[in-house]
Amino acid sequence: MIKVDQEGCIGCGLCANMHPEIFAMNADGKSEVVDENGDHEAAQEAAAACPVNVISVE
């Protein structure tokens, strides 16, 4: 399950740029998971790149 803690998201857009098949920016400018069962390797890559570490993959 791929999740974003939206409270901590600073809206940099990195995850959605890297993997738009998994993440999208919502109307509040926060990242939203569009495929919570998406590719875990891709999600881990985005999680590692997230500047505030709010993406979790389990």
Q: Which residues bind ligand SF4 (CB under 6 A)?
A: 4, 9-15, 31, 50-52, 54-55
* Cα–Cα distance, 27 to 32 (Å, whole number): 10
CB nearer to ligand SF4: pick between 13 and 38:
13
CB nearer to ligand SF4: pick between 42 and 50:
50
Q: Can you read off the two tokens belonging to residue 36?
A: 């919570």
Q: How far is the CB of 32 from ligand SF4 (least distance, A)?
A: 9
CB nearer to ligand SF4: pick between 37 and 48:
48
Do 23 and 16 meet the contact criterion of CB atoms below 8 Å apart? Answer: yes
